[in-house]
Amino acid sequence: MTTQPLNVSRQEQVRRVLARRRPDRIVYAPNYWQWFSHHLNHGLLTPEASHCRTQLDLIRHLGLDVFSRNIYCDQQRCWFGGLAQEVFDGVEVREEVRSEGRDLVLTKTYATRRGALTERLRYIFAESTLVQEVFALDHLADPLGALEELLQARRWRFLPERYAEEQARVGDDGLVVAGELFSPLKALHFLAGAVNATYLIADHEARVRELLALHEAAALDLARQMAAARVPAMMAMDNLDTAFHTPAYVERFSASFYEKASRIAHEHGSTFFIHACGRQRANLRLIDSLGVDGLEGVAFPPLGDVQLDEAMQLTGDRFLITGGISALETENFRTADEVRRYVEDLCRRLRPYAHRFILAASCNTSIRTPFQTLLWFRDAWREFSGC
């Protein structure tokens, strides 16, 4: 059975992967964010885990690694973020939070000279998830005019002291990823929704490109602030699925941002990742060519369209990938032997790439996963993760 080397911290094992150096064993940094919040808030934690008050407590209890961009996030109010403040110059922003039963409804209104933009999110308590009900550019007479006002006014201020506090909390157990960025294409997705974003691009592509350049400039400024604060890893939270982020869209709207953000990170000794879910095959070589360090949460069939060892072969020897465990495995495996066989095969195929692979959830851990299954995965990783 593989055990943690006594003289090498978990953080050092993660740092070795970021430096493309072989760790002593495969790094295992699962994402229990939604799972833990659901089980804590619904009183579902088992007696063994009942002392845990945070996701970090659970990861420590299981003896796992931390490489996380949500270890610090408010699960009921945002999909990501918490290390940077959104600031506006000339646009008034009003926020309202109200309860509807056990759900939280979060409404934000941006008062621009070309109309008020309103977005509404709902935290569904029963499912422990956040969904968007209204997009800011819905039902506007002049959506591109309002978009211009918003993007001209919006900037971000990184909070290095908050980052330092969170990294100190994690300590030698791993690294906090600054998951505060998102690409120009994702900015349009957040404000218009995927369907309307596609229509806006089809009808007004040149204008959309011009406006999204405003977001790129602001996001790159935030990347510079994070790099100056010496964060070891930053991430664009783009959910880079080719269903929306087609290679053509990426090249036209986000490639410049990815390439420049990667360069900024590298100039300061940092790494630049993109959060990925769903189908990745068509984008892998393009993303690698832009200097991006890696993808978080590559999904394999049927949720994705590429096996992890195949993804390693499609990219260069500097490209990092996290993933390997999806909701399909955590929900459907019913015995320790099923988990053991799965992890043994995965570790066997990925061991040659242990210098650029982190075993993790492909996106998140299903709230329907039994705690015993988390233990089975932990035990199988301990048995087969040696390098």
Domain boundaries along the sequence of the chain: 10-84+141-384
Nearest Cα residue to 357 out of 279, 280, 298: 298
pTM for the model: 0.96
Please report, in tens digits, the pLDDT of each residue of the chain (387 residues total).
444 555 799 999 999 999 999 999 999 999 999 999 999 999 999 999 999 999 999 999 999 999 999 999 999 999 999 999 999 999 999 999 999 999 999 999 999 988 899 999 999 999 999 999 999 999 898 999 999 999 999 999 999 999 999 999 999 999 999 999 999 999 999 999 999 999 999 999 999 999 999 999 999 999 999 999 999 999 999 999 999 999 999 999 999 999 999 999 999 999 999 999 889 999 999 999 999 999 999 888 888 999 999 999 999 999 999 999 998 899 999 999 999 999 999 999 999 999 999 999 878 899 999 999 999 999 999 999 997
**What integer pLDDT is reported at residue 302 of this predicted model?**
86
Taking the C-alpha atoms of residue 71 and residue 157, their distance in angstroms, rounded to an integer, is 20
**What integer pLDDT is reported at residue 5 of this predicted model?**
53
Taking the C-alpha atoms of residue 158 and residue 229, their distance in angstroms, rounded to an integer, is 9
Strand ordering across the sheet containing 27-28? 27-28, 357-361, 320-325, 294-298, 271-275, 233-236, 178-181
The span from the first CA to the last CA of the chain, in angstroms, equals: 12
Half-sphere exposure of 71 (CA within 13 A, CB side): 27
DSSP class of residue 315 equals: S
Q: Domain 10-84+141-384, what fold?
A: TIM Barrel (3.20.20)
All residues at 6 or more sequence positions from 243 whose CB lies less than 8 Å from its CB, including other chains: 278, 279
Query: Diameter of the chain by CA atoms?
Result: 64
**What integer pLDDT is reported at residue 300 of this predicted model?**
83
**Residue 114, SS3?**
coil
**Residue 29, SS3?**
coil
Half-sphere exposure of 206 (CA within 13 A, CB side): 0
User: b or e along 338-353 (b: 16 or more beta carbons within 10 Å of the residue's beta carbon)?
Assistant: ebbebbeebbebbbeb
Task: Sort residue 295 into left (φ over 0), alpha (ψ -120 to 50) or beta.
Answer: beta
**What integer pLDDT is reported at residue 1 of this predicted model?**
46
All residues at 6 or more sequence positions from 343 whose CB lies less than 8 Å from its CB, including other chains: 377, 380, 381, 383, 384
**What integer pLDDT is reported at residue 7 of this predicted model?**
77
Classify the C-alpha dihedral 70-76-81-84 as positive or negative.
negative
Read out DSSP for 265-310?
Answer: HHHTT-EEEEE--S--GGGHHHHHHTT--EEEEE--TTTSSS-HHH
**What integer pLDDT is reported at residue 2 of this predicted model?**
47
